[in-house]
Amino acid sequence: MPKLRVHNLAISLDGYVAGPNQGHDTPLGEGGMRLHDWAFATKYGRSTVGADPDGDTGIDNDFVVAGDVGIGATIMGRNMFGPIRGPWTDHEWTGWWGDNPPYHHDTFVMTHHQRPSVSMAGGTTFHFVNEGPEEVLRRALEAAEGADVRLAGGASAVRQFLLAGLVDELHLAVVPILLGAGERLYDELGTLPGYECTSIMSSPTVTHVQFAKIP
C-alpha cells in the first residue's frame, strides 16, 4: 500500500526546522540554511543543485538518496513554496527552485489562497489546494499512481499530518545547532502518540532518527 513519507527533515537541537524572518534572501529564515549543510555536502545533494558531485558518499548520502526513491507526488506547505503571505497579488512567484524544480511530478501546495496550477520544466506541476490533510493526501495518492507520496515540509504542514495520524514514516536529521527561534516542529505534538522510533544512526555531522506509525 502506498505510504506518506517524510525524509531528511533537518531539525535543530531545540526543535526548529527553519529560522525566523523568512524572506526572499532567507528562504529558510535567519540561520536556517545551516540545517542543510550536511545534505549539500553529499554527492547526491550536490548533484541536485548542479554542483560538482564530488561529495560525501557515506550514511548521509544514503539518507538523501532514499528520500527520492519510490516517490510519485509531493505535498508541501505554502511557507516552503515561498515567502509571500496572504492573497496572491500576481502569479509571478513559482518557487525557490528556478524553471526546473527538483520534484518532477505533481506537487500540492497547501494554502488558504488558491491560484491556478503551474506547470514547470522537468515535469513538476504545482497545484494550490485549500483542503484538509486527508483530502490533500487523497489527491496526492491519486496523482502518484501507486507510488508513495513525500511530505516535504515545513513545520506546520508536517504537524498537521502527524496530528491526523497520516504520516507512515518520519525521518528527522538532527543537526547539532541551536536556532533559538523560527518554525518549530514539536509544538502541539505532545508525546507523538501512535508512532515509535525505529532507528537511530549517526554520522560525523547529524543524527538520523526514524519513526514509523504503530500498526
All structural domains of the chain with their residue ranges = 4-82+146-213
Mean pLDDT along residues 159-165? 97
Q: Is the pLDDT assigned to residue 87 strictly greater than 80?
A: yes
Which among 36, 4, 1, 40 is positioned nearest to 17, based on CA atoms?
A: 36
Cα–Cα distance between 202 and 121 in angstroms, integer?
A: 36
Quick one: cell of 171?
525521518
- What distance, in Å, lies between the first and last C-alpha atoms of the chain? 13
Residue position matching grid coordinates 516535504: 152
* pLDDT at residue number 52: 66
* pLDDT at residue number 146: 98
* pLDDT at residue number 47: 80
In the structure, what pLDDT confidence band is assigned to residue 49 with cuts at 50, 70 and 90?
low
Quick one: cell of 215?
500498526
Element (H, E) at 77: strand 71-77
What sign for the dihedral angle of Cα 162, 81, 2, 59? negative
Mean pLDDT along residues 71-91? 95
The answer to which of 23-27, 70-74, 91-95 has the lowest mean pLDDT is 23-27
**Fold for the domain defined by 4-82+146-213:** Dihydrofolate Reductase, subunit A (3.40.430)
* pLDDT at residue number 199: 98
Mean pLDDT along residues 143-147? 98
Mean pLDDT along residues 19-28? 92
Q: Is the pLDDT assigned to residue 54 strictly greater than 80?
A: no
Q: Is the pLDDT assigned to residue 4 strictly greater than 90?
A: yes
Element (H, E) at 143: helix 133-144
Mean pLDDT along residues 8-14? 98
Mean pLDDT of the chain: 95
Is 204 strand, coil or helix?
A: coil
